[in-house]
Every structure is written in structure tokens, then in C-alpha cells.
Amino acid sequence: MEKCFKKFDEKTVEKLIQTVGDALFVLGGKWTLRIIIALYNGNKRFSELRRAVNGISARVLSNELKDLEVNGFLKRVIDSEGFSVTVSYELTEYSFSLEEVVLALSSWGEKHLETIKKSL
Amino acid sequence: MEKCFKKFDEKTVEKLIQTVGDALFVLGGKWTLRIIIALYNGNKRFSELRRAVNGISARVLSNELKDLEVNGFLKRVIDSEGFSVTVSYELTEYSFSLEEVVLALSSWGEKHLETIKKSL
DNA sequence: GTTACCGGTAACCTTTAGTTTACTGGTAAC
DNA sequence: GTTACCAGTAAACTAAAGGTTACCGGTAAC
């Protein structure tokens, strides 16, 4: 039960610490992944995102969207064809490289919540 | 290239946002996962952890270890058999439910770093 | 013409996370 | 006996993240 867990050697652990750290540096924020996920089922406008990502303030959403654009996760799409200009946000292909991460976090988060509920 | 990404419906997205949020609430910190990973290749003592998890201060490590123990990720093991008492930290089985998350984050983090290097 | 939504921005404030420095009492090596 | 490692802790601080309130010009409905 104990020794069987020692499956990683030192070098591997060192590398895992580094790469997981790199990933969390980008994705570890409270809102980053939630915003990306909210765009998984199609483009959304600013106010739609505010509703989808419950609890986020306009200021934070605005800042996050800028960061996400700079980091290549989404594009700001301006449509000036109609009477009024509309802005919407569209994921880039790069965002979809996060699918594995999102699914792993999601299924762990779900199990974790169950575990907590049982222990109460 | 666009429509093919719309593979999640609204309900699914809503649930993903929730569960990923729950997971990040526990794991999203700067140090949490790094400490857990550092223990993957066997128990470590306080000062060993400080060295393994580069850059962490004693205070933060101490606090994190308390949280991790309360949340059931590790046990503080006191060995008073020798001449001097030694303390070490041991992962619980529950920590190993994180393997998928760790591997997903790690491989994404690695790819992300390459992407950034190329774009410079 | 007033009310409301849209896509934000600015200024200010609070909370959380993390750092630094200094210190503790005990063991052990030189 | 002094130097150093061990496992931390306390206090005081800084930095970063996030929240609150108020506001902007524009469109559009009633």
C-alpha cells in the first residue's frame, strides 16, 4: 500500500513539479479556465459571459479577456455588419489543447465534492 | 474549424464550469500540487520538501502542509524510535486520485512552454 | 424623454497570498 | 563551546488578485 506508490523517480518528480507549475501559472487563476469553458459551446458576448461565469465582475472579466487574447486562447470578434456593432469572443484552436486538462480537473472535482459530502 | 468545436451543450458547459471551479478551489494554489508531487517518490522531511519545492518559504510550506493534512492529502508521521525524533510527510491514498490531473497538467504545461519558446 | 441593455473603464478598497527577518529549543558534529 | 541543521513559529510587511461603485457613449424599446 505504501511502496507501490513510489513509481516516480527523482528526475521525473522534478520535471513534474516544473511542468505542472508552468501550467498552473497560466491556468491556476480563479477565472481563466471557467471563461474558456464557457466559450466551449460557441461564441459569447461580454454580457453573456458575465452570466455564464457566475460571480465574475465586469472589471475582472475585462482583464481576463485581454490576457486570454494576448496568450492566444481567444479572439475578439467585431461584427459591424448590422445596425449596431457587436463584439463577441471566440476560442482559438489552441484553447482546445486544454480539453484533457479540463476533463481531468472536472472529473476529479466531481469526485472530490462527493468525498467531502460523505465525510460530513 | 469553428462548428466542430461546439461539442458541448449548455448543461455540460455549466457543469464543467462548476466542477473545474471546485477542483481549482482546492488545487489551484501555487504550491499545493507541487508539494504533493514532491512526495510522489517517497516520504520527505520538512527541510527536504523545502529543497524539493524550490522557492517556497518555511511559513508557506508549514501552512500548506497543515491544510493538506486537514484535507486528507497527507499524513504527518512522527518517528520517535531513534535517538532523536524525526518528522516526515507521507501521502495518503487520496492524493493518488490526482494522478490524472497531474499528468494532464504536466503534459499541457510542457507543450505550452514549447509553444511559447517557438513564438519568441 | 426615460428607462434599460451593451461593452466596457477608472478609481478605490479589501482580501488573500506570499515574503522577509528573526527567533525558538533540541540534536549533533567538529 | 561554537557552528550548523532540524522543524518549525511570530510578527510585520509587500504584492497580487479580486470586489465595489460609479460612470461613459451608444443603441434601442416603450
Q: B32-67 pLDDT, tens per residue?
A: 999 999 999 999 999 999 999 999 999 999 999 999
Q: What is the mean pLDDT of residues B15-21?
A: 97
CA distance B48 to chain A (A): 12
Beta-carbon contacts of B56 under 8 Å, excluding residues fewer than 6 positions away, are B31, B34, B35, B49, B50, B64
* Among candidates B13, B98, B103 on the partner chain, residue whose Cβ is nearest the Cβ of A41: B13
The answer to whether residue B6 scores a pLDDT higher than 80 is: no
Is residue B105 assigned to a domain? Answer: yes
Residue A9 domain flag: no
Q: Does residue A87 lie within any of the structural domains?
A: yes
- Asked, for residue A6, whether it belongs to a domain, the answer is no
Query: B36: domain range?
Result: 19-119
Read off the CATH number of the domain in which A88 is found. Answer: 1.10.10.10
Q: Which of A27, A65, A70 is nearest to A46 (CA)?
A: A65
Report the first-to-last Cα separation within chain B, whole angstroms: 26
pLDDT > 60? residue B5? no
pTM as predicted: 0.93
Which letter, b or e, does each residue of B39-67 get, where b requires 16 or more Cβ atoms within 10 Å of its Cβ? bbbbbbeeeebbebbeebeeebbeebbeb
Contact residues on chain B for A21, CB-CB shorter than 8 A: 30, 34, 109
* A3, A4, A35, A41, best to mutate vs chain B, most B CBs in 10 Å: A41
Over residues A98-120, the pLDDT tens digits come to 999 999 999 999 999 999 999 88
Tell me, yes or no, whether A26 lies in a domain: no
Note whether B34 contacts A17, CB cutoff 8 Å: yes
Phi, psi of A42 (to 5 degrees): 120, 160
Residue A50 lies in a domain: yes
Count Cα neighbours of B49 within 13 Å in the Cβ-side half-sphere: 30
Q: Are B31 and B56 in contact (CB under 8 A)?
A: yes
Kindly report the backbone phi and psi dihedral angles of residue A57, in degrees, each rounded to the nearest multiple of 5, phi listed first: -90, 160
Q: Is the CB of B13 less than 8 angstroms away from the CB of A37?
A: yes
Q: Total domain count for chain B?
A: 1
Q: Which residues contact A111 (CB under 8 A, 6 or more apart)?
A: B97
Percent of chain B with pLDDT over 70: 95
DSSP state of B62: H
Match 513539479 to its residue by C-alpha cell.
A17
Chain B residues near residue A18 by CB distance under 8 angstroms: 109
A77 within a domain of the structure (yes/no):
yes
